[in-house]
A = this chain, B = another copy of it.
Amino acid sequence: MTEINQMNCKCSNKDNCSSHNNEQFKIKSSLNSFNPFTSRVIDLGKGQFIGGGHFQAIAGPCSIEGNHIFELAATLKACGVSILRGGAFKPRTCPDSFQGLGKEGLELLVQAGHDNDMLTISEIMSERDIDLYHDIDILQVGARNCQNYSLLKELGKTNKPVLLKRGMATTIDELISCARYITQAGNDRVILCERGIRTFEPKTRNTFDVSSIAALHNGCDFPIVADPSHATGLSNLVAPCTLAAVACGADGIQVEVHEDPQSAMSDKDQALTPNEFKNLMHDVESMHAFLTQ
């Protein structure tokens, strides 16, 4: 039986940390093979942690499209989500595509997070935009900028946690090296994210490399989040791949949810409806409780 004494937890804020006081997430497991909780604990602020047994679900729309974010945030909060995602500056393949609401989108996200007592996360595409993200809690680096070392170095000078997504052709070892660009600049609150790699398989948008979760846990102590939405690109594969990620030891998940996926301005094929997501959250919590019972 795997049992990590909570006294050894690297979390700096045991008293106010809900995970610490939540029997569901206590760090032990009745499984022999399941012991991924070796990553550092990262304090995300507002009493939330990730890593070392602290699990987080990140959810929200691909793009913030307007006021829809307020009702959606409330719905997600009710599902148990503590971190609200939403894209404001979007890295679209085609320059003619919707590029996001920009600064206005960030303001909507901040307000929605504030209204629902949620942390916020949004992708940053340029070091020149850092000031715009002043009120965003977690900075996300997208797959296309995974090896944008100039950006990584600048984010290493901020005091915000950074979620770094694996590039489409970035190896596991290269991803760890990318994270080190951030930590060497002074910021050790880095979270890695497996979001699928490019392969020959045309059925799925990318190929979800679930093994990277375990390999990364072996090779570094950063928490690992899985993003089955981008990895598969198909809403009906999101739930089974999410469960796979949790069973493989992911420290968190990131899932795209939209109140009406077919009308979404981006990534409509991969977004879950709020009801689908609610069902999935129930399962994720059950799975996590099983793994850590």
| Complex interface residues of chain A between 196 and 233 (CB less than 8 A to chain B) | 197-204, 207-215, 218, 228, 231-232
- Determine whether the beta carbon of B125 is less than 8 Å from that of A127: no
- Determine whether the beta carbon of B243 is less than 8 Å from that of A245: no
- Determine whether the beta carbon of B150 is less than 8 Å from that of A126: yes
Mask of A23-55 contacts with B, CB within 8 angstroms, 1/0: 000000011111010000000000000000000
A273 at interface, CB cutoff 8 A: no
Copies per complex of this chain:
4
- Determine whether the beta carbon of B236 is less than 8 Å from that of A244: no
- Determine whether the beta carbon of B177 is less than 8 Å from that of A150: no
Partner of A31, one of B129, B204, B241, B283: B283
In the complex, how many angstroms separate the beta carbon of A26 from the nearest chain B beta carbon?
Answer: 17
CB within 8 Å for A172 and B203 given contacts A32-B280, A34-B240, A244-B248: yes
Q: Which residues of B contact A234 (CB under 8 A)?
A: 215
A93 at interface, CB cutoff 8 A: yes
State in angstroms the CA–CA spacing of A106 and B93 once bound together. 31
A167 at interface, CB cutoff 8 A: yes
A67 at interface, CB cutoff 8 A: no
State in angstroms the CA–CA spacing of A125 and B129 once bound together. 16
A77 at interface, CB cutoff 8 A: no
Segment of A79-87, A108-116, A140-148, A259-267 in the binding face = A140-148
CB within 8 Å for A207 and B204 given contacts A91-B149, A149-B125, A199-B199: no
List the B residue with the shortest CB-CB distance to A36: B240
A104 at interface, CB cutoff 8 A: no
A17 at interface, CB cutoff 8 A: no
Interface size class of A (residues with CB under 8 A): 35 or more
List the B residue with the shortest CB-CB distance to A211: B208
In the complex, how many angstroms separate the beta carbon of A33 from the nearest chain B beta carbon?
Answer: 3
In the complex, how many angstroms separate the beta carbon of A290 from the nearest chain B beta carbon?
Answer: 5
State in angstroms the CA–CA spacing of A208 and B194 once bound together. 13
In the complex, how many angstroms separate the beta carbon of A150 from the nearest chain B beta carbon?
Answer: 4
Q: Which residues of B contact A173 (CB under 8 A)?
A: 203
Q: Which residues of B contact A287 (CB under 8 A)?
A: 31, 247, 290
List the B residue with the shortest CB-CB distance to A180: B95
Q: Which residues of B contact A127 (CB under 8 A)?
A: 126, 128
- Determine whether the beta carbon of A280 is less than 8 Å from that of B33: yes
* 26 contacts across the A-B interface (CB closer than 8 A): A32-B280, A33-B279, A34-B239, A34-B240, A36-B240, A91-B149, A95-B184, A125-B148, A145-B148, A148-B148, A148-B151, A168-B168, A168-B169, A169-B200, A171-B202, A199-B199, A199-B207, A200-B200, A207-B211, A210-B210, A211-B237, A215-B234, A240-B248, A247-B247, A286-B290, A287-B290
